[in-house]
Every structure is written in C-alpha cells, then in structure tokens.
Amino acid sequence: MRTSAKKLVTAVSASIALTAAGHAAAEIQIGIAGPMTGPVAQYGDMQFSGARMAIEQINANGGVMGEELVAVEYDDVCDPKQAVSVANKLVNDGVRFVVGHLCSSSTQPASDIYEDEGILMVTPASTSPEITERGYELVFRTIGLDSMQGPVAGNYLASLNPKRVAIIHDKQQYGEGIATAVRDTLKDKGVEIAMFEGITAGSKDFSSLVTKLKQADVDYVYYGGYHPELGLILRQARQADLDTTFMGPEGVGNKGINTIAGEAAEGLLVTLPPAFDQKAANQELIQAFEAKGEDPSGPFVLTSYTAVQLLAKGIEKAESTDPFQVAEALRSGSFETPIGKVEYDKTGDMKSFEFVVYEWHSDGSKTPVN
C-alpha cells in the first residue's frame, strides 16, 4: 500500500515539477512573501515596493539569462502560522526563489520548509541571529545584523564622552536586539547606562517615559526600534521640554519620522548604510521610486531591491536556476549593490556591512557626522 501510494505521490510531484519547469522555460518566478495586511503592513509595503522595482528594472534590461522575472506575491500578515501556509503554497506553486519573509518570527518556521524543499530564501529584514545559525544552505540575508550596527552606534556615542546614556527599545526582535548590542558596547567602554527599558510598539502615549527620561538627566538617549514610535517620542519630548539628543538605528532613518515629529526630528543621530546617497547609480534609483510615488527611504526598500538583484546575479553567475548552485554562486562571489558591496560567509550572513552615523534634519535630509 505504502509503495504504490509513494509512487503516486512521486508521479504527482514530478508532474508538478515538470509544469514548473515548463514555466521556467519562459520565465523565472520570484516569490515575495511578507505582510500585506496586519499591524506591520507598512513595513511589508516597503518590502514589496523594493522587490517590485527591482524586478521591473531587471526585466527592462533584458531579464535574467534571457528570461523574464515574474513576481509571485504572498501575504503572511507577520503571523508564523500564515508564514507556514505561505511557504507550503510556494512549494506547491513551484517557486524556487523567495525574497522574504519580513518578521523573524515568520522567517524562522518558513525557512525550515524552504530548506527542506530546496528553495532559496533571501530575507531583507529579519534580524534574528538564529535564522543563520542552524547550518542551512539556502538561507541568506541582505540586512545588517545587530552585531554590525550596534558597535558603530555605541562607539560613536562613547566617543562623545557622555556622562549618562539611556537606552530604550520596543521589545521586539530588531529593536531589543540592537539596543542590547549598543548597551554592551557602551558598557565595555565604561559609559554609565542610566536606564534600559522597553516600550510597547504600537502605543501612542509616551508621556510617562518622557518624564522618566527628563528625571534621569541623561546626555543621550539611544532608541532601538522603528520610526513610528521614535517619532512620537521625539515629538512628545519636545512638547515636554526635554531636549536631549536621540540616536537610533536604520529603522528610524526615513522621511516618515519627519511627518510625525516635525521640528523635533532635527538633530537626531542615525546609523545608516553609507552607499545610500553617495553613488550616482543610487540617485537614478531614488528618482525611479519617486516617479512612481513611492518612498525609497524606508528601511527595507533597498534591502528588498538588493535581494532580488542578488538572486538575479546569482542565477547569472551560476548559469542555472538550481537553487543549490545559485547559493554556491552567492557564497563565492562579490556583488555591487545599492546597499554596498555584498559578500557572503558560510552561514548566509553578509561578511561585513558598513554603517555610518548621520545627523537627521527636520526637512528629511541628512548629513554625515565626522
């Protein structure tokens, strides 16, 4: 009974694979899995925006190995259960390359399925260290880890010789991770940490936190998290007459913070990847986004763009669409991308990723600090 059932299953899978291969003859499917709805849909928007733009531009330049890229989009609502369903659906649809997921809690269970079924996954936003610590061959990241960004921020702050520093985070994977990294760096440098506290992402009222910061009498406040909360904190801080300098990671370095914080965003320190504004090629890219009415400064737009670009370049380098060979090509190559030079190590993390400290201005522009 079992063997004949197994034969049936193999036959069915083979026919699915053949159909998928039939697709591959004319086009390459790139799955994009992220939250289209739900509480973090605004970050999912960034992911889809960046990935779609990349696919458009690559197709306009002749595609990959003569074939067009086709985007296949899935909504996982940043819910681990749905992420698993999405991963299964991806497998059924015969998609072999995925840009996603966004939330670490979705990426982790989904990557189990991708690794099992031989699907290459590049995540543009998940920062949980565990994702690349399991010895998987087909998992890659285009986002810098906390271990790269934290020391940059911490060292800069320490170089300013502050008396006391407060560290706030949003209790989520990314925010708490980077806040911890900064705290550890500062502790090593002997800076006094006045408080290390978390706020709930999605809350609007930070008046008690601001009062507490006022009383703590610190020179700097480091915030680990994204722009919606920091924007509100900045605004409410200015209203309460708290004028310490704030610093945040790349998650806060985008124009969204200006619409919320207004004048209060002036003087905010942010760590960002440097190649953002410095290369001419990026200028064209930024203009392409703005022509479509989309904002390229969100933290995951360019990382998603880069993810698609890397997939395309990997396929070209390996001269095949077999995910294992593409993975090998990615690990053995060095690529120029909008987020900088990308080289991968064995685990699928980028070997090094540069971050530079910028000062943010109330008109949305930024200048690097020296």
Partner 1 sequence: MQDLLYFSQQLINGLTIGSAYALIAIGYTMVYGIIGMINFAHGEIYMIGAYTALIAITGLATLGIAWLPVILIVALVCAMIVSSAMGWAVERVAYRPVRGRHRLIPLISAIGMSIFLQNYVHLAQGSRNIGFPALIDGGFQFGPEGAFEMSLSYMQITVFVTTLVCMAVLSLFISRSRTGRACRAVSQDLGMANLLGIDTNRIISATFVIGAALAAVAGLLLGMYYGSIDPLFGFIAGLKAFTAAVLGGIGSIPGAMLGGLILGVSESMTSGYLSGEYKDVVSFGLLILILLFKPTGLLGKPEVEKI
Partner 2 sequence: MAAQNLKHAFFCAVITLIISYPILGFNLEAQGINVTLTGAGTSTIVMVLLAAVVVFLFQLFRESVMATLKSIPRPLPQTHKEPVAENKRAKIESRVLTAIIVLALFWPFFVSRGSVDLATLALIYIMLALGLNVVVGLAGLLDLGYVAFYAVGAYTFALLSEYFGISFWMSLPLGALLAALFGLVLGFPVLRLRGDYLAIVTLGFGEIIRILLNNWTSLTGGPNGIGGIPEPTLFGMEFGRHVKEEGNSSFHETFGIAYSGEDKVIFLYLISLVLAVFTALVIRRFMRMPVGRAWEALREDEIAARSLGLSRTSVKLTAFTIGAFFAGFAGTVFASKQGFISPESFVFLESAIILAIVVLGGMGSQLGVILAAIAVTILPELAREFSEYRMLIFGAAMVLMMVWRPQGLMPMRRIHIELKKQE
Residues that bind partner 2 (CB under 8 A): 2, 5-6, 8-9, 12, 16, 36-38, 73-75, 77-81, 84-85, 88-89, 91-92, 103-105, 108-109, 112-113, 116-117, 128, 130, 134, 171-173, 176-177, 198, 255-256, 258-259, 295, 362-364
Interface with partner 1 in residues 27-66 (CB under 8 A):
37, 39, 41-42, 45
Distance in angstroms (rounded) separating the CA atoms of residues 96 and 36 = 21
Strand order in the sheet with 68-75: 68-75, 27-34, 97-100, 120-123, 139-141
Q: Rank residues 42 and 159 by Cβ distance to partner 1 and give the closer one.
A: 42
Q: Residue 298's closest CA among 78, 290, 98?
A: 290
CA-based angle 141:95:348, to the nearest 5? 20
Query: End-to-end alpha-carbon separation of the chain, Å?
Result: 72
Instruction: Please identify, using beta-carbon distances, which residue of 157 and 285 lies nearer to partner 2.
Output: 285
Is residue 261 a contact residue for partner 1 (CB under 8 A)? yes
Q: How many residues does the chain have?
A: 370
For partner 1, the binding residues in 216-255 under the rule CB under 8 A are 217, 227-228, 231-232, 235-236, 239-241
363 lines the binding site for partner 1 (CB under 8 A): no
Q: Which CB atom, from 92 or from 215, has the smaller least distance to partner 1?
A: 215
108 binds, among partner 1, partner 2, none (CB under 5 to 8 A by kind): partner 2
Number of residues that bind partner 1 (CB under 8 A): 37
Residue range at the interface with partner 1 (CB under 8 A); choices 53-61, 78-86, 147-155, 256-264: 256-264
| Interatomic CA distance for residues 364 and 355, integer angstroms | 19
Instruction: Look at residues 95, 144, 145 and name the one whose alpha carbon lies nearest to residue 120.
Output: 95
Q: Which is nearer to partner 1, 115 or 176 (CB)?
A: 176
Instruction: Choose among 355, 332, 357: nearest CA to 344.
Output: 332
Closest distance of CB 103 from partner 2, Å:
8
Beta-strand pair 366-368/356-360: antiparallel
- 272 versus 312: smaller Cβ distance to partner 2: 272
**254 touches which of partner 2, partner 1, none (CB within 5 to 8 A by kind)?**
none
Sign for the CA dihedral angle at 131, 134, 140, 146 comes to: positive
Candidate list 118, 129, 262, 333; residue touching partner 1; CB under 8 A: 262
Q: Are 261 and 248 in contact (CB under 8 A)?
A: no
State the Cα–Cα distance between residues 161 and 174, nearest whole angstrom.
26
Backbone angles phi, psi at 235, to 5 degrees: -60, -50
**CB under 5 to 8 A by kind: which of partner 1, partner 2, none does 266 bind?**
none
Residues forming the site for partner 1 (CB under 8 A): 37, 39, 41-42, 45, 171, 197-200, 202-205, 207-209, 211-212, 214-215, 217, 227-228, 231-232, 235-236, 239-241, 256, 258-262
